[in-house]
């Protein structure tokens, strides 16, 4: 009887013991919002949104961290495929990934929009679901380079551009000082 009460109490308290950022996330999947950080400065370089459609995983640039003087409307001028001259924000950089095992995705590519080069790629999800190791390579996976992306909490979705947000707020806040077009005149019969 005492054991049953303990198990029941633990089950009721479990949601409060789990840290906030992982409550809403599916920790067993690469689907979600991820942040990359510069290895040297430890500052964010971008956010990436990974989604799944019919077993195929892809990812877009969801937020950019620009240095002073960098163009916020930069386009992929070096891209050689259908992404040529598309804006970086919302640009599909990961394509064709398929889940190979519980925590590994492969068979896809990753685009470096700075030079337009497309690399073969793999993604590996950490055991706790909080880190995604994205590896781009030419030829052999062994000859590649890793990037370590950190999962962002569900609340971060509210900070990405509404045009690319898969979870837009139900009642977006009005934009201050936005001029509304005049209402059309009432139709007279």
For the entire predicted model, the pTM comes to 0.75
- Tell me what pLDDT residue 128 has: 96
What percent of the chain clears pLDDT 90, i.e. is strictly above it?
66
CA distance 106 to 109: 8
Q: What tens digit of pLDDT does each residue of 40-81 get? A: 999 999 999 999 999 999 999 999 998 899 999 999 999 999
- Give CA 100 to chain center in angstroms: 20
Given a cut of 70, whether residue 135 has pLDDT beyond it is yes
Residue 3 CA to its chain's centroid (Å): 42
Domains, the chain, ordered by start: 21-159 (2.40.128.520)
Q: Indicate whether 104 pLDDT > 50.
A: yes
């Amino acid at each position: 009887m005492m054991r049953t009460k303990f198990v029941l109490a633990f089950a009721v308290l479990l949601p409060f013991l789990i840290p906030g950022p992982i409550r809403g996330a599916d920790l067993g999947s690469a689907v979600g919002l991820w942040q990359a950080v510069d290895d040297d400065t430890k500052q964010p370089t971008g956010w990436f949104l990974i989604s799944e459609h019919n077993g195929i995983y892809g990812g877009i640039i969801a937020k950019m961290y620009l240095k002073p003087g960098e163009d916020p409307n930069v386009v992929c001028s070096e891209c050689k495929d259908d992404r040529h001259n598309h804006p970086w924000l919302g640009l599909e950089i990961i394509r064709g990934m398929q889940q190979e095992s519980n925590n590994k995705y492969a068979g896809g590519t990753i685009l470096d929009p700075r030079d337009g080069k497309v690399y073969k790629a793999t993604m590996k999800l950490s055991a706790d679901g909080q880190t995604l190791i994205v590896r781009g390579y030419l030829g052999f996976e062994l000859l590649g380079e890793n990037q370590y992306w950190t999962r962002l909490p569900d609340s971060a979705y509210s900070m990405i551009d509404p045009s690319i947000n898969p979870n837009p707020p139900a009642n977006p806040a009005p934009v201050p000082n936005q001029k509304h077009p005049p209402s059309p005149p009432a139709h007279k019969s």
